[in-house]
């Protein structure tokens, strides 16, 4: 069943633009991105901090904080246009159809309510006729599902009484309470130590398989991308650079930014010293003309500086926005 689902589109984003209208100017945080999420797949959304990954997820959920605003583009979920829905309609979809796990559970969980209350609020917001006994049973099931021991006792505790890893498990339980079809995991392991990171990732992978949902893993960590995803969207400065199957992306990156990200990852089969990407992410109030990566790119030409490239399919299911992608292919192959 999963194989058939993998060819069906669940979420489709086309030309999405989300800007922040600040006193300093208009920040073009997401500026024309295009990609899709297929049913049952694990998709990676990767790029440096400031590339627009989180804003993309917030745009899908329609919870972009002020002064941000979606100004253009399409967001379709199961064939329905999310940008045409009312706030009331979106409220009924959040949690039930699309959910998100935020980066820091310490800030996403309410410190003044115990865990039982926070999980119950999610359940009863959508199931208003659910009794206290029914919600109590469901909360126990959720806490057991995400591996929180002594659930009957611990549900009465408050977030500050949980370790970082256990807080993230509570956040995962809350996100999965209504069995969403699509889950965004926004840097879910950033605040955790390495051992707990692995446990949380294994938990997400297991739950994704059990529930048959689609997972979008938002991260800057290429190691997490390799472990967790089957397909990857690479973002840079609010643009989509490259989309490919994870294995293809690692073996043959076609965009210089992707190649640079991979060259900075330690690998046992690479004896060369790790490289760094020169320069910094551009100011998104006044982004560079043409390709936004060109000031940091060793392959940039005059055309790159003047005209923004568009995504094109250079191989089956492999898309790239770069005029010099053939050069990147040769570089990637020779670096094996």
- Quick: pLDDT tens for 158-207: 999 999 999 999 999 999 999 999 999 999 988 788 888 999 999 999 99
What gap in Å lies between CA 41 and CA 44, rounded to an integer?
10
What gap in Å lies between CA 37 and CA 11, rounded to an integer?
5
Whether the pLDDT of residue 84 is over 50: the answer is yes
Per-residue DSSP letter, 228: H
| Mean pLDDT of all residues belonging to the chain | 91
* 90 burial via Cβ count (<10 Å: 0-12, 13-18, 19+): middle
The long-range contacts involving 304-313, CB below 8 angstroms and separated by at least 24 positions, are 308/239, 311/34, 311/240, 311/243
What gap in Å lies between CA 333 and CA 257, rounded to an integer?
16
**Token pair belonging to 106:** 């310490």
Asked if residue 6 lies in contact with residue 40, where contact means CB atoms within 8 angstroms, the answer is yes
| CATH for the 2-236 domain, from 1.20.120.450, 1.10.150.130, 3.40.50.300, 3.40.50.720 | 3.40.50.300
**Extents of the domains making up the chain:** 2-236
Helix H or strand E encompassing 194: helix 194-211
- Quick: pLDDT tens for 281-316: 899 999 999 999 999 999 999 999 999 999 999 999
Q: How far apart are the first and last CA of the chain?
A: 36
Asked if residue 239 lies in contact with residue 47, where contact means CB atoms within 8 angstroms, the answer is no
Q: Structure pTM?
A: 0.91
Contacts of 289 (CB under 8 A, 6+ apart): 305, 306
């Amino acid at each position: 069943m999963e194989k058939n689902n993998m060819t069906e589109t669940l979420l489709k984003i086309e030309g999405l633009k989300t800007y922040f209208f600040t006193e300093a100017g208009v920040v073009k945080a997401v500026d024309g991105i295009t990609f899709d999420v297929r049913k049952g797949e694990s998709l990676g959304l990767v790029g440096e901090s400031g590339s627009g990954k989180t804003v993309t997820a917030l745009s899908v959920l329609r919870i972009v904080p002020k002064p941000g605003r979606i100004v253009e583009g399409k967001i379709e979920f199961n064939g329905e246009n999310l940008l045409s829905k009312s706030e009331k309609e979106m409220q009924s979809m959040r949690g039930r159809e699309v959910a998100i796990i935020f980066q820091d559970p310490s800030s996403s969980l309410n410190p003044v309510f115990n865990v039982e209350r926070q999980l119950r609020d999610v359940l009863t917001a959508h199931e208003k006729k659910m009794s206290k006994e029914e919600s109590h049973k469901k909360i126990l099931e959720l806490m057991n599902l995400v591996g929180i021991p002594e659930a009957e006792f611990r549900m009465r505790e408050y977030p500050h009484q949980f370790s970082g890893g256990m807080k993230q498990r509570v956040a995962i339980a809350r996100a999965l309470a209504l069995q969403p079809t699509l889950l965004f995991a926004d840097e879910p392991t950033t605040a955790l130590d390495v051992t707990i990171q692995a446990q949380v990732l294994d938990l997400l992978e297991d739950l994704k398989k059990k529930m048959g949902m689609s997972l979008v893993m938002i991260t800057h960590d290429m190691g997490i991308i390799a472990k967790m995803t089957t397909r990857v969207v690479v973002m840079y400065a609010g643009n989509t650079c490259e989309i490919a199957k994870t294995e293809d992306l690692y073996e043959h990156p076609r965009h210089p930014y992707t190649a640079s990200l991979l060259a900075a990852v330690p690998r046992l089969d690479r004896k060369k010293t790790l490289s760094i990407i020169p320069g910094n992410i551009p100011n998104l109030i006044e982004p560079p003309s043409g390709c936004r990566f060109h000031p940091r790119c060793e392959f940039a030409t005059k055309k790159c500086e003047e005209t923004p490239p568009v995504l094109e399919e250079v191989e089956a299911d492999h898309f790239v926005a770069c005029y010099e992608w053939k050069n990147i292919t040769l570089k990637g192959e020779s670096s094996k």
